[in-house]
Each structure stands twice: as C-alpha cells, then as structure tokens.
Structure 1
Amino acid sequence: MIRTGTQYRDSIRDGRRVWMNGERVKDVTVHPMFKPLVDIRARMYDMQHESALRDTLTYDEGDGERHCIAHKLPLTRQDWWDKRRATDLLLEDIGGVVTRVGDETVGEMWSLFDGQDVLNELDPRFSSNIRAHINQVVHGDLFHVSANTDPRGNRSKPPQAQDPDVLLHVVKETDAGVIVRGAKYETAAAYANQAFTKPALAQWGNDEHSEYAIGFICDMGAPNLRFICRTGFATRAPAEDYPLSNRFDEVDSIVVFDDVLIPWENVLFYRHTKAARFLQNTLHRYSAFAFVQRNLKLADMLIGTALHNTRQTGVDKLQAVQDKLSKLACYREGINAHLTAAIALAERSPAGLMMPNQSLLFTGRSFATSQLHEMMNTVRDLCGGQICLTPDYASFRNEETGPWLDKFYTLSPQWKSEDRRKLLAYARDLLNSDYASHRLTFQLFAQSPPHAQTAAVHQHFNWDEPLDFVARSAGLSEDVKGIDAPADGDGAVSQWFRDQMDGE
C-alpha cells in the first residue's frame, strides 16, 4: 500500500554506510546536502494521501488498497495518459525537475518482464523473480533506482585483462545467493530503497556464461555496501542566490560492492549473456518516457525564465526577441508532440504490455537532449548579461549597498527590485551555475550517451517505408527493392566495439 513520507524516511535509516566530503554521514534524512531531495521524495509520498490528489496519483487494482500510479504495469494507452498526468502534477507541486524519483527506473524491470522467454532458457526461477519484484514495487511503494554504469577502467581492454573489479561481477556462489564485487555509479542511491543493478556493457569476450552477465535487485541497506558520494550543491551557497541548487540536486554516488550477498530470489539473470544483451537492447523502451517528460518540464522552466525577463525589461514585443521565444516554443512543443504521439501510436510488447511507440519515443529523447544546450544558450541571450553580473542577496540587504541596488533593479511599479533579483538568481542557477552545468551533462548522459541514443533511433525507425516509396517513385527494378544492407566485410567494426555502442 502507499507509504507516507515518514515511513519513507524511516525506511532509509538503516545504518547504511554513506560518505560525503570524506566524512561519514550518520543520517541521510537530515544531512543538509541530502535533506532537500529526501524531503521532496517524502512530499511525493504524502501527496498520495491527500484527498484532492489521491485519484490522480494512485489507483485501486481491486485488492482494496491504493497503489502508486507510476508503478502500475502499463496495459493500455490510458495507463500512459494517467502516468503522464501524475508526473505533471508532482513536478508542478514541487516547482521544478528531479530526474530520479522511481517512476523513470521501474520501467527498466518492465523491459525484463518482456524478456521472460529469454530468462526461461536459463532458469525459470529468474522469470518468476522478475514478476515477484514488479509486484513488490507495486505493493511496497518502494523508492526504486537504477544502477548501470561501472568505473570500467581502461576501455580498450576487456575486464579479464585488467583489475576484474572494474566491472561488477560474481566472485562466489552459495546456497543463499551469489557474492558480488565491484562498483556502480548510481544517482540517488544513498537515499533510495533498492536498485535494479545490471551490466552496462557486454564485454564478455567469447564466454557465453560470463560472471559479469548478472542483473539483480539490491537492497540499498545491504551489509558490505558503501556509498561514496560527490559533494552536493545544497548549502554550498545561500538559497536566496541559488534557489535550484539548494532544492533539486540529486546526489550521485559510487556504490562499492565489497563482497555483497545477493539472495537467489533477487537475482533476475545470471551467467546468461543473451539475457544481458536483450536487456541492453530494450532497457529504455518504457523508462525513456518519464525521462523525456522531465525534459518537457525543463523546457517550461527555460521558457518561463526567458519570457519573464523580456517582459520585465520591455523587449518582448521586438521581432528578434519573439523569434528566439518561438524557437524555445518549437523545442518545447517538439518534445510534447513526441510524447503525445508515442502514446497515441503505442505498441503491444512481446509480453502483452503497452509500450510507447518506440521510434517516436527514441527520436523524442534524441531531439530533447541534443538541443538542450542550444536552448539554454538562447535563454542566456534573452536574459542578457545581468544574470552573471548581479550582486548577491546579502548586498541587496546591506544598509549601505541595498538602496543603490534597489534603485537600479526596480524596473516599474509592478517589477520591484526584489522580484528582479529573484528572477536573475533563478536564471543564473538554471543556466550558469555549477549546478546548471552538472545538470546539462547529466541530461546528456542520464540514460545513455548520445551515440547510444542515436543508435536506438536507428534501430527502431522504419527504414522500409521510405526505401519502398523511392523504389516505386524512381521506378527501380524489382530486384533491388528488397535488398538488405551489405554484410560487414573486413573493414567491419569489431563485435567488442559494437558492444560499446549499446545503450548504457
């Protein structure tokens, strides 16, 4: 059943070993650099219990209990409309964008649900395990995150030719489960309940049954886990000057698995490279939707910031300004169109789930991420140089400097200096701060690197229709209409390098 914010906080006070800035964190729920996101996640849990929001955020599957709509298996197009509406409501309430809150990663398990036939080739237990864990997320209302990326070491070498721990792997089998060693980079892991942990790259060599080919659910409170976190942005500078950094920083960790026991019931595949490759090729068929939807809300933040500034300064009627605003609108509506069409033209998956139209979803993701840096630069242009020149909040409050700043930053009877300062601080944090640069990089690589995103587009686009149309239009002979691309010759890219091109 749905949890409360208090229940969530209590669930992550489990003695987990977390470090930040070289110091042990005793309680992530109160540490100043973790607390803002813990509070947001707790707020999301509490929202599910509010009568006005309950029907949008939860559903009853006939068992007399309410469950989170984000965790519901998507069986119909309406399920996707409901998920989209619920996410919009959450983001509107918290006033910004967070990327790792659970709904964007639970979809990765749905992809493995589609691959049950592949899992059954090795061991039917693994297929039942994935069904059990999908049910557990639904009924336990867990904060579920994803663990893909390893330290990797020297990428020109397979793991067997260097320190074996650069990729997470199994070191021992026991009656209770498998013992794993290595590390993973995980966003939000230090304050999540569990992570779907799986291989990022298929560097198996010729070994069909590799110790690196393992996927499992890991309890984030498990013994022998260590969380070594990057320094958070919250509290590094005053919230009045950096309102986004202090609210929406999702702290990333390198999670060290120091001989961690994974019970057999939590293992979803093991020593099965075919299952690992299947997951790599299908990992984001559902999870990409929530990721792209967050890009849509980020686009709204960019447009609102630019429009407020141009109206404050009275230049919003200039044609050159309107051209740039229209460019932002096209970017925003391009994302919106891809999301809408992906639902409208949704497809049935191998296991009977309703998956967003894959070509439209992945082209939408590539469109949203590849143009984000350009849109941010457009907003910088529309905001002008004051976002990098404006003094800090303390100067506005100083009895000697404050009156001067009040004089120069008051634009009209409606736009007083305080509102002007707030907007410029917001814009600076959205576009120019350390946090802004971090988020831009994160958005670029959060699901997979750009080359893997375009590879997904190439894989799912229907190339036959334009081929057939031109063949008919140009009057080509029947002999060439059905010819496939030529097979790779001596100059082909190696299979190992192809594996590097797979999704993260």
Structure 2
Amino acid sequence: MIRTGAAYKEGLRDGREIWIDGERVADVTTHPAFKPIVDIKARMYDLHHEEATAPALTYVEENAVHSVFHQPPTETAHWDAKRKGVDILLKDVGGVVTRVGDETIGEMWSLQDGRDMLAAIDPRFAANIDNHIRRVVEEDPFHVSANTDPKGDRSRHISERDPDMMVHVTKETDAGIIIRGAKYETAAAYADQAYLKPTVGAWTDEKESDYALGCIVKMGAPGVKHICRSSFAGRSNPKDYPLANRYDEVDTLVVFDDVLIPWEDVFFYRYTKAAQFVRGTLHRYSAYPYVLRLLYVADMMIGAALWNAKQTGLDKLQSVQEKLADLAVYREGINAHLTASIALAEKSPAGLLMPNQSILYAGRVLACSQLPTMMHATRELIGGQICVTPNVAAFEAEGTAEWLKKFYTLNDNWESEDRRKLLAFARDLVSSDYAGHRLAFVQFAQAPHFNHLAAVYKSFDFSGPLDFVRKTAGLSDNVMGSLK
C-alpha cells in the first residue's frame, strides 16, 4: 500500500551513516541541509492520500491501491496518467524535483526487457527483477539510481587502478555477494533503496566482468556510507534564494564498504553481456520523466522572463517578443517530443509500452543541449538587475528600505516587494550557484551529451532516408546489400 509522508520519514530513521560538511547527521529528516527536500518528498506521498488528488495519483489492482508512477506501462493511458501525476506533484510543491522515483523505476523495466538474457545467466536473476518490480509497486519505496563510479585515472586499465574506484564483487557467500567501491547518487541519503548498475563504458573486456554488476542496495544497510556534498539549503535567506532553499536534491558519494547484497537483490554480476545490455537500454523508459522535468524548467524561464517584461512595460517590443518566442519554441519542442513519443509508442520485449525510442532520445538531446542557450536568453530578457539587486535585508533595513522601495516600485500595480521577489526568483533560476549546479546536473545526470547522441544514432531508423535517396538518385538495388 502507498505510504504516508510520516511513514516515509520514519523509514529513514534506520541508523544510516550520513556525513555532510564533516558532520555526522543524526536525523536526515530534521537536519537543515536535508529537511526541505525530505519534506517535499513526504508531501508527495501524502498527496496520494488526499481526496482531491488521490484519484489521479493512484490505481487499484486486486483491491490494493498503488501509485501510478510505479505501474508498469502497457497502454497509452498509463503514460498519460504518469504525466498528469507529475503535473499535480510539481504544481503542488511549487518547483521542479528530478528525483521522485518515477524516473528510476523505468530503469528496472528496461532490465526486465532483458529477463531472457538474465535467465540464461541464472534463472534466479530473471525472477529477482520480476520480484523487485512487484515489490516497488506493493511497498512503495523511494527508489533512486546509482550510476557513476569515481573511476580514478582512466588513462590506466582498470587492473592498474585501485579496484575500489569502480564497484565490484569481492566475494560470494551463502547469503549473497559482498561488494566494495563507491557510486555518486542524487538523493541517496533520503531514499530507501538504489538500483546499482554498471557505469558508462565499452564493456567488451571479460577481465572487467567483476565490475559488471546490477543489484538493489538498501540505503541503510551495514557498510553503506553517505558522504554528501554541501547543500544549497540554509546557506542564505530563503527570500533571496527561494529555489536553492527548497528544491536542492543533495548528491552523495555512497561508499560500499564490504556490503552484503542478498541473493534475492542480485540481478546479474560478472557478466559483461548484461552490462552491455543495461547501458544500451537503461533510459528507454526513464528518459521520459527526465525530459518532462525540463518542460517545467522551460515554463519557469518563460514565466520569469514574461513577468519581468510586463513589470517594466517591455513586453510590447518586437525584440522582446522574439526572444520570448525562442523560449516558447524550446518549450513546445520538448512538449512535442514527449507527446509524439507516446502517440507512437512501441511494444518492448517484455510486453510493456515504451516511448518511441528515436523520438524520445531526440527530445532529450533538444532539451539538454539547448538549455544553456535558453537560460542565457532568460537572463537577457530580465536584464542587469538580476545580478545587482541587494538582498532582502537591505529592503527591510532602516536607512536603505525607503530608497529601495522608491527605485524598485514600478507603478501602482508593481510595488517594490513584488519586483524584488521576481528578481530573486529569476536569479536563483538562471544566475545563482544553484542554477549553475542544476545546469551541470542536467548535462550529465543521464550520461553526457555524446551518450545522448549515441542513443539517437542507435535508435533512429536510417533505412528510410537511405532507400529514399537510392530511388531518387537511381542507385542500383545492389547497394542495399551494404546495409547488412
């Protein structure tokens, strides 16, 4: 059954070892670096129970109520429900949160598409992925994803590096496997479990098979240590940085210090073919919610830029309208790819309905590669005041408040406080440390840009353009043999 926000928080009080800024965290649910985002995740759980939102966020199966985000998609309506659900969550919490759980359960659906391969390795592995997907539906954990290892000096072969630079199996026991190493994971410190899978790589060298590992790791398990980066929350007044203080999803170097993974939580290990499959299909479902988040980022940029233009009376200028149109085209480009990927969805090997792969991956390239340009367009539309406006203390202090009220009041409709709030929001959206962090995160959270392009190359059907040109140019039928 779906948990409540209180049940989610209680589940995090499991004695897990969390460190931030050199401090051991006693309670992740109350620590100021984590409390804002934990509260948001708890709120998302509670929305599944509220009368106004529960019908759209849940479905009933065998008299049990489950989250629409965990429902394996077999028809278009399931994807429509997931998209509507994200809209409800993000509008309720008032901002963009990437790690919710819907974007990581899809990675397990991808692995289920390879269950025949897993069964060939060991029949238990195929059963394990089926069981875990069912457990996610029934137990409703906050499920995140572990991808990138520290790796070390990549000019050296893996055998010449410290073996712990990549997560690997060190021992088999009757109870399970023992693993060592580390992974970077977003939201791990306040999640229930993570899907640990191989990092980006060629995965063709059998000597690296100790590193070809896929499993579930409980975030409070013995030997799991969370070493977190500094949080943006609490650094400054929330009135000056409203996004950083609410929506920062803290990233963690998760250390696995001889961690036992029970056999029922192992999907594969020491099998490079499985690693190849995972890296080639990992995002066939999860890219959809990932790209969907950027639609809301685009909406925030459009809203901030247009409100600024209306405040200052510049919205009627053609040059301003053209830049706003650029932002709108970016937004609608994302929307079009998301919509088309479901309208032209494809059946997966496991019988699920996966978004049209070529269209979805092309949309991801558009959304991620153009984000820096769109952020700068937003800065240009808002202008220099975004970076020179004093903080809220100056707007409230005797001796400066009167002057700032004078110079930031625009007219009878736009008084200084609304002007200050908009500029603070826009600064945190596109020009703050938090904004820079989010931009870097988007570029690498689902692998770097070259990997995004590789996914498009592998999923796009080149036979149509080739055959069209063959016929139009009058090439012989024999040339089609070169495609084999």
State the TM-score, normalizing by the size of structure 2: 0.99
- Give the aligned residue type for 1:436: A
Residue 190 (1) aligns with residue 192 (2): no
Cα contact 1:346–1:355 (8 A) shared by 2: yes
| Distance (Å, rounded) in 2 between the aligned partners of 1:310 and 1:17 | 48
**Matched residue, 1:501:** none
Give the secondary-structure state (helix, strand or coil) at the position aligned to 1:79: helix
Give the secondary-structure state (helix, strand or coil) at the position aligned to 1:259: strand
Change (3 A) 1:118 1:314: same
| Distance (Å, rounded) in 2 between the aligned partners of 1:140 and 1:211 | 31
Give the secondary-structure state (helix, strand or coil) at the position aligned to 1:350: coil
Cα contact 2:158–2:208 (8 A) shared by 1: no
Shift of 1:74: 0.5
**Matched residue, 2:18:** 18
Residue 36 (1) aligns with residue 36 (2): yes
- Give the aligned residue type for 1:355: M
Shift of 1:173: 0.5
Cα contact 2:16–2:219 (8 A) shared by 1: yes
Shift of 1:137: 0.5
Aligned counterparts, 1:81-96, within 5 A: 81-96=80-95
Give the secondary-structure state (helix, strand or coil) at the position aligned to 2:216: strand
Shift of 1:479: 1.8
| Runs (5+) with no aligned partner, structure 1 | 486-504
Give the secondary-structure state (helix, strand or coil) at the position aligned to 2:3: coil
| Distance (Å, rounded) in 1 between the aligned partners of 2:118 and 2:207 | 14
Aligned counterparts, 1:40-79, within 5 A: 40-61=40-61, 63-79=62-78
Shift of 1:228: 0.4
| Distance (Å, rounded) in 2 between the aligned partners of 1:465 and 1:478 | 14
Cα contact 1:373–1:440 (8 A) shared by 2: yes
| Distance (Å, rounded) in 1 between the aligned partners of 2:123 and 2:53 | 40
Cα contact 2:203–2:276 (8 A) shared by 1: no
Give the secondary-structure state (helix, strand or coil) at the position aligned to 2:429: helix
| Distance (Å, rounded) in 2 between the aligned partners of 1:209 and 1:309 | 54
Change (3 A) 1:470 1:198: same
Shift of 1:209: 7.7
Cα contact 1:208–1:271 (8 A) shared by 2: no
> Which region of structure 1 is more displaced relative to structure 2, 155-164 or 430-439?
155-164
Residue 352 (1) aligns with residue 383 (2): no
| TM-superposition CA deviations, 1:106-164 (whole Å, max 9, x none) | 10000000000110111010000000000110000110000000000011222211111
Aligned counterparts, 1:194-343, within 5 A: 194-202=193-201, 206-207=205-206, 210-343=209-342
Shift of 1:483: 1.9
Aligned counterparts, 1:370-389, within 5 A: 370-389=369-388
- Give the aligned residue type for 2:285: Y
| Distance (Å, rounded) in 2 between the aligned partners of 1:437 and 1:136 | 37
| TM-superposition CA deviations, 1:407-463 (whole Å, max 9, x none) | 100101110100000000000100111000000000111111000000001111111
**Matched residue, 1:2:** 2
Residue 441 (1) aligns with residue 428 (2): no
| Distance (Å, rounded) in 1 between the aligned partners of 2:298 and 2:481 | 42
Give the secondary-structure state (helix, strand or coil) at the position aligned to 1:227: strand
Aligned counterparts, 1:103-118, within 5 A: 103-118=102-117
| Distance (Å, rounded) in 2 between the aligned partners of 1:153 and 1:206 | 18
| Distance (Å, rounded) in 2 between the aligned partners of 1:356 and 1:32 | 39
| Distance (Å, rounded) in 2 between the aligned partners of 1:141 and 1:285 | 22
Give the secondary-structure state (helix, strand or coil) at the position aligned to 1:19: strand
Change (3 A) 1:116 1:376: same
Give the secondary-structure state (helix, strand or coil) at the position aligned to 2:482: coil
Give the secondary-structure state (helix, strand or coil) at the position aligned to 1:331: helix
- Give the aligned residue type for 2:44: M
Shift of 1:199: 1.1
Shift of 1:210: 1.6
| TM-superposition CA deviations, 1:297-316 (whole Å, max 9, x none) | 10000000000000000000
| TM-superposition CA deviations, 1:259-316 (whole Å, max 9, x none) | 0000000001111111111011000000000000000010000000000000000000
Give the secondary-structure state (helix, strand or coil) at the position aligned to 1:368: helix
- Give the aligned residue type for 1:64: N
| TM-superposition CA deviations, 1:30-89 (whole Å, max 9, x none) | 00010111000000000000111111101001x212101000000111111111110111
| Distance (Å, rounded) in 2 between the aligned partners of 1:202 and 1:399 | 59
| TM-superposition CA deviations, 1:82-109 (whole Å, max 9, x none) | 1111011111111110111111011000
- Give the aligned residue type for 1:77: T
Shift of 1:365: 0.3
| Distance (Å, rounded) in 1 between the aligned partners of 2:133 and 2:20 | 32
| Runs (5+) with no aligned partner, structure 2 | none
State the TM-score, normalizing by the size of structure 1: 0.95
| Distance (Å, rounded) in 2 between the aligned partners of 1:456 and 1:203 | 14
- Give the aligned residue type for 2:423: L
| Distance (Å, rounded) in 1 between the aligned partners of 2:404 and 2:56 | 45
- Give the aligned residue type for 1:441: A
Cα contact 2:347–2:354 (8 A) shared by 1: yes
Shift of 1:474: 1.3
Give the secondary-structure state (helix, strand or coil) at the position aligned to 2:183: strand
Residue 457 (1) aligns with residue 456 (2): yes
- Give the aligned residue type for 1:315: L
| Distance (Å, rounded) in 2 between the aligned partners of 1:444 and 1:246 | 22
Shift of 1:201: 3.3
Give the secondary-structure state (helix, strand or coil) at the position aligned to 2:36: helix
- Give the aligned residue type for 2:402: P
| Distance (Å, rounded) in 2 between the aligned partners of 1:38 and 1:284 | 26
The alignment covers a number of residue pairs equal to 484
| Distance (Å, rounded) in 2 between the aligned partners of 1:23 and 1:133 | 34
Shift of 1:481: 3.2
Cα contact 1:150–1:200 (8 A) shared by 2: yes
**Matched residue, 1:472:** 471
| TM-superposition CA deviations, 1:222-275 (whole Å, max 9, x none) | 001110000000010100100000000000000000000000000011111111
Shift of 1:478: 1.5
Shift of 1:205: 6.0
Give the secondary-structure state (helix, strand or coil) at the position aligned to 2:330: helix
- Give the aligned residue type for 1:42: A
| Distance (Å, rounded) in 1 between the aligned partners of 2:464 and 2:189 | 47
Aligned counterparts, 1:366-445, within 5 A: 366-445=365-444
Shift of 1:484: 2.4
| Distance (Å, rounded) in 1 between the aligned partners of 2:194 and 2:327 | 35
| Distance (Å, rounded) in 2 between the aligned partners of 1:398 and 1:214 | 58
